[in-house]
Amino acid sequence: ANPTLLILAGDGIGPEVMGQVKRVIDWFGTKRNLAFDVSEDLVGGAAYDAHGTPLHDDTMAKALAADAVLLGAVGGPKYDALDFSVKPERGLLRLRKEMDLFSNLRPAQCFDALADFSSLKKDVVAGLDIMIVRELTSGVYFGEPRGIFEEGNERVGINTQRYTEGEIDRVARSAFELARRRNKKVCSMEKANVMESGILWREVVQKVRDADYPDIELSHMYADNGAMQLVRAPKQFDVILTDNLFGDILSDCAAMLTGSLGMLPSASLGAPTDTGRPRALYEPVHGSAPDIAGQGKANPIACILSFAMALRYSFDRGDEAARLEAAIETVLADGARTADLMGEEGGTPISTTEMGDAILSALDAS
Ligand code: NAI
Ligand code: MG
């Protein structure tokens, strides 16, 4: 049987960019004999409109059964006034939680044709290709106790940074496995100088490496220095492993090394199922972009690159993922630009569909 893909296009530009991904998926099915059983469902505001909930139980069940889930984006002004319990974001949070997606992969890759587009000097970012692995389901965003409490005659806001050995162990393994597919180099970032959870983090990561990944070169860095190094000389890194809070900040920082939000894919992985594949959700980093939704202006590349990550990490087809990435590199080198990729000098941007057309032609020529 073909592997199964569940597509949840979501809201705003989600369905627009996903439309181009579907064409790419079809191309791999017909031209590369790499067929998927694709099904589609609703998430976010679209699901709320249809069912009064941002993620129907049936959709959740389909996501748990699928070999991989591809998500567009959720949210929009139409839903801003909704009760928190049915907000579009809750649909995405429920997927992450019930699929137990503890390992968030955020690549920062600089396409040569866009090196001028970075906020940094061209030579600092040209050829950059690093991956941040962020722990996604624990740490200070989830630790108990949390809340705003009365203390004496004032209030105190409390969050708790909490990591178990098991939580550190599993995300460390996911980073080391990833490093084996890349350049066998991991830098782990925490603040073991001032945080107990950081001390444990460093100890467990080192232990996992020594026991099961002796072929991986592991280094440790304090996260504040890491932030500085990421901007000063990002090419010194390959895989960066870090916790939820530091990963949130470091991955956004790394993202801007390479330019537009319209170019950034991501993957969130969980434990392997009985198929041997990890539970997996792939999505662009950007949101539903209500300011440009419905205008055919959205850049589909972030979403298409997310599918490339699915080919590599869920379906073990790094060769076809590389083919797709090379096609994108080609169209960018040929000057194809959606509006978000136009610099100060201006020019005429192409539409979402035209970017899809260009990528399919480049695939045909590959
Ligand atoms: P956003 O990422 O949707 O947009 C930020 C800016 O980047 C906008 O100017 C937008 O036009 C531009 N942009 C984003 N993706 C683009 C693309 N593919 N091509 C061209 N331009 C692109 O973030 P914002 O405006 O903060 O949030 C809008 C809505 O999206 C909100 O409802 C928010 O909650 C939701 N959101 C959803 C996310 C998700 O589904 N994972 C992530 C972030 C925000
Ligand atoms: Mg963030």
72 is in an annotated binding site: no
Determine the pLDDT at residue 194: 97
Instruction: Indicate whether 116 pLDDT > 90.
Output: no
The number of beta carbons lying within 10 Å of the beta carbon of residue 246 is 25
pLDDT one-digit tens code per residue, 7-18? 999 999 999 999
Buried b (16+ CB within 10 A) or exposed e, 278-302: bbbbbbbbbbbbbebbeeebbbbbb
Looking at the DSSP assignment, which residues form a beta bridge with residue 13?
A: none
Closest by alpha carbon to 138, among 163, 113, 159? Answer: 163
Q: Please state the ipTM of this predicted complex.
A: 0.98
- Domain edges within the chain: 1-115+260-366, 129-256
Architecture of domain 129-256: 3-Layer(aba) Sandwich (3.40)
Residue among 213, 248, 282, 340 flagged as catalytic: 248
Residue 123 has pLDDT above 80, yes or no: yes
Cα–Cα dist 232/325, whole Å: 26
Which ligand is located closest to the Cα atom of residue 355? 1
Structure tokens at 258: 């390479």
The SS3 assignment for 38 reads: strand
Give 90 Cα–ligand 2 centroid separation in angstroms: 16
**pLDDT band of 255, cuts 50, 70, 90:** confident
Contacts of 4 (CB under 8 A, 6+ apart): 36, 37, 38, 39, 65, 66, 67, 68
Quick one: pLDDT band at residue 355, thresholds 50, 70, 90?
very high
Q: With 0-12 CB in 10 A as exposed, 13-18 as middle and 19+ as buried, what is 73?
A: buried
The stretch 229-247 carries a mean pLDDT of 96
Residues with CB under 6 A from ligand 1: 13, 17, 73-76, 89, 92, 261-262, 283, 286-292, 298-299, 302, 340
Q: Is 100 assigned a catalytic role? A: no
* H or E element, residue 28: helix 14-31
CB of 66 closer than 8 Å to CB of 101: no
Concerning whether 357 is annotated as a catalytic residue, the answer is no
Q: Using CA atoms, how far apart are residues 285 and 265, in angstroms rounded to an integer?
A: 6
Give the pLDDT band (50/70/90) at residue 5: very high
Q: Is the peptide bond before 77 cis (omega within 30 degrees of 0)?
A: no
Q: Which residues contact 220 (CB under 8 A, 6 or more apart)?
A: 187, 188, 189, 190, 192, 202, 205, 206
Kindly indicate the confidence band of residue 259, based on its pLDDT and cuts at 50, 70 and 90: confident
Mean pLDDT calculated for residue range 11-27 = 98
Q: Which residues contact 31 (CB under 8 A, 6 or more apart)?
A: 363, 364
pLDDT bracket for residue 159 (50, 70, 90)? very high
**The domain defined by 1-115+260-366 carries CATH number 3.40.718.10:** yes
Q: Point out which residues pair with 347 in neighbouring strands.
A: none
Residue type, 2: N
Annotated active-site residue 238? The verdict is: no
- Per-residue DSSP letter, 99: T
Q: What is the mean pLDDT of residues 145-169?
A: 96
- Beta-ladder partners of 106: 132
Nearest Cα residue to 185 out of 236, 246, 261: 236
Candidates 261, 297, 342: which one to mutate for ligand 1, based on the most atoms within 8 Å of Cβ?
261
Instruction: Give the residues across from 242 on adjacent strands.
Output: 134, 189
pLDDT in tens, 205-223: 999 999 999 999 999 999 9
Q: Is 191 one of the annotated active-site residues of the chain?
A: yes
C-beta separation of 136 from 174 below 8 A: no
The question of whether 243 is a catalytic residue gets the answer no
> What type of residue is 18?
M
Helix (H, G, I), strand (E, B) or coil at 158: strand
**Tokens found for residue 301:** 């590349």
CB 299 within 8 A of CB 355: yes
Q: How many angstroms separate the alpha carbon of residue 250 from the centre of ligand 2?
A: 9
Burial grade of 34 (CB within 10 A; 0-12, 13-18, 19 or more): middle
- How many Å apart are CA 84 and CA 3, to the nearest integer? 35
pLDDT of residue 201: 98
Q: Residues 210, 252, 319, 364: which is the catalytic one?
A: 252
> Do residues 273 and 264 touch, judged by C-beta distance below 8 A?
no
Say what the pLDDT of residue 343 is: 74
Mean pLDDT of 260-277: 93
SS3 25: helix
The one catalytic residue in 210, 224, 316, 364 is 224
Cβ of 20: how many Cβ atoms within 10 Å? Answer: 24
Give the DSSP H or E segment for 160: strand 154-160
Q: For residues 51 and 245, what is the distance between their CA atoms, to the nearest angstrom? A: 33
